[in-house]
Amino acid sequence: MSTPTPSELRLPVQMAVVADPGTKAGPRVQQVTEILRTAIISGRFEPGDRLIESALSAELGTSRGPVREALRQLENEGLVMSFPYRGAVVLGVSDEEVQEVLIPIRLTLERYSWAQALEQLTDDDFAELGKQIWLMEQAGKANDLIKLVEADLAFHEIVISASGQLHTVQLWRTIWPRIRAYFYRYERFRSFEETVHEHRELLEALQTRDRAVVLGVLERHIDVAAPPAAPKVKRP
Amino acid sequence: MSTPTPSELRLPVQMAVVADPGTKAGPRVQQVTEILRTAIISGRFEPGDRLIESALSAELGTSRGPVREALRQLENEGLVMSFPYRGAVVLGVSDEEVQEVLIPIRLTLERYSWAQALEQLTDDDFAELGKQIWLMEQAGKANDLIKLVEADLAFHEIVISASGQLHTVQLWRTIWPRIRAYFYRYERFRSFEETVHEHRELLEALQTRDRAVVLGVLERHIDVAAPPAAPKVKRP
DNA sequence: CTGGCCAAGATTGTCAACCATTTTGAGATT
DNA sequence: AATCTCAAAATGGTTGACAATCTTGGCCAG
Q: How many CB atoms lie within 10 A of CB B156?
A: 24
In angstroms, rounded to a whole number, what is the distance separating the alpha carbons of residues A1 and A92?
13
State the number of CA atoms in the 13 A half-sphere of B61 facing the CB.
Answer: 12
pLDDT at residue A223, rounded to an integer:
75
C-alpha dist (Å) from residue B3 to A70, A101, B6, B9, B143:
28, 40, 9, 10, 33
Q: Is residue A20 predicted with pLDDT exceeding 60?
A: no
Q: B83 φ, ψ to 5°? A: -125, 140
Q: Which residue in B183, B180, B173, B158 sits closest to B77, CA to CA?
A: B173
H or E element at residue A68: helix A64-76
- Model confidence at B225, pLDDT cuts 50, 70, 90, reads low
In angstroms, rounded to a whole number, what is the distance separating the alpha carbons of residues A117 and A157?
11
Q: Is residue A141 predicted with pLDDT exceeding 80?
A: yes
Q: Which distant-in-sequence residues (6+ apart) come within 8 Å of A60 by Cβ?
A: A11, A15, A32, A35, A67
pLDDT at residue A66, rounded to an integer:
97
pLDDT at residue B232, rounded to an integer:
39
Q: Is residue B8 predicted with pLDDT exceeding 90?
A: no
Q: Is residue B32 predicted with pLDDT exceeding 60?
A: yes
Q: Is residue A13 predicted with pLDDT exceeding 80?
A: no
Residue predicted with more confidence, B3 or A143: A143
Distance in Å, alpha carbon of A70 to nearest chain B alpha carbon: 10
Range of weakest confidence among A15-24, A62-71, B26-35: A15-24
Q: How many CB pairs under 8 A join A and B?
A: 84
H or E element at residue A14: helix A12-15
Q: Which residue in B199, B200, B189, B196 sits closest to B227, CA to CA?
A: B189
State whether the beta carbon of B48 lies below 7 angstroms from any atom of strand D: no
pLDDT at residue A228, rounded to an integer:
56
Residue closest to sugar C1' of C13 by CA: A27
Is the CB of residue A171 less than 8 Å from the CB of residue A193? no
Burial A31-64 (b: 16+ CB within 10 A, else e): bbbebbbbbbbeebbebebbbbbebbbebbebee
Q: What is the largest CA-CA distance in chain B?
A: 54
pLDDT at residue A77, rounded to an integer:
96
Q: B-chain residues within 8 Å CB-CB of A105?
A: 105, 108-109, 171
Measured in residues, chain A has a length of 236
In angstroms, rounded to a whole number, what is the distance separating the alpha carbons of residues A213 and A195?
19
Å from the A2 CA to the D1 C1': 28
For B161-217, the pLDDT digits (tens) are 999 999 999 999 999 999 999 998 887 888 999 999 999 999 999 999 999 999 999
Q: Which distant-in-sequence residues (6+ apart) come within 8 Å of A215 by Cβ?
A: A111, A114, A115
For B47-80, the pLDDT digits (tens) are 999 999 999 999 999 999 999 999 999 999 999 9
Q: Which amino acid is at A149?
A: V
pLDDT at residue A225, rounded to an integer:
65
Beta strands in A66-148 (DSSP E): 80-83, 87-90
Is the CB of residue B35 less than 8 Å from the CB of residue B11? yes
Range of weakest confidence among A77-81, A228-232, B2-6, B65-69: B2-6
Distance in Å, alpha carbon of A35 to nearest chain B alpha carbon: 18
| A143 CB-contact burial (10 Å; exposed 0-12 / middle 13-18 / buried 19+) | exposed
Q: Which distant-in-sequence residues (6+ apart) come within 8 Å of B236 by Cβ?
A: none
- Model confidence at B227, pLDDT cuts 50, 70, 90, reads low
Å from the A51 CA to the D1 C1': 35
Å from the A122 CA to the D30 C1': 37
For B104-150, the pLDDT digits (tens) are 999 999 999 999 999 999 999 999 999 999 999 999 999 998 899 99
Interface of A with B (CB under 8 A): 26-27, 30, 65, 68-69, 72-73, 76, 78, 81, 84, 91, 93-94, 97, 100-102, 104-105, 108-109, 112, 165-168, 170-171, 174-175, 178
- Model confidence at B234, pLDDT cuts 50, 70, 90, reads very low
- Model confidence at B3, pLDDT cuts 50, 70, 90, reads very low
Nucleotides of C under 7 A from a protein CB: 11-16, 21-24
Q: If you average pLDDT over residues B34-55, what whole number do you get?
A: 95
For B211-222, the pLDDT digits (tens) are 999 999 999 998
pLDDT at residue A7, rounded to an integer:
35
In angstroms, rounded to a whole number, what is the distance separating the alpha carbons of residues B61 and B26?
16
Tell me if A72 and B68 make a contact (CB, 8 A cut-off): no
Residue predicted with more confidence, A225 or A159: A159
- Model confidence at A235, pLDDT cuts 50, 70, 90, reads very low
- The DSSP call for residue A23 is G
Interface of B with A (CB under 8 A): 26-27, 65, 68-69, 72-73, 76, 78, 81, 84-85, 91, 93-94, 97, 100-102, 104-105, 108-109, 112, 165-168, 170-171, 174-175, 178
In angstroms, rounded to a whole number, what is the distance separating the alpha carbons of residues A23 and A19?
8
- Model confidence at B2, pLDDT cuts 50, 70, 90, reads very low
Mutate to test the interface with B, among A95, A105, A163, A172 (most CBs of B within 10 A): A105
Q: Which residue in B178, B170, B75 sits closest to A91, CA to CA?
A: B170
Q: If you average pLDDT over residues B215-234, what whole number do you get?
A: 69
Q: Which residue in A166, A152, A174, A140 sits closest to A222, CA to CA?
A: A152
Q: Is residue A6 predicted with pLDDT exceeding 80?
A: no
- Model confidence at B21, pLDDT cuts 50, 70, 90, reads very low
Angle between helices B211-225 and B192-208 (to 10 degrees): 160
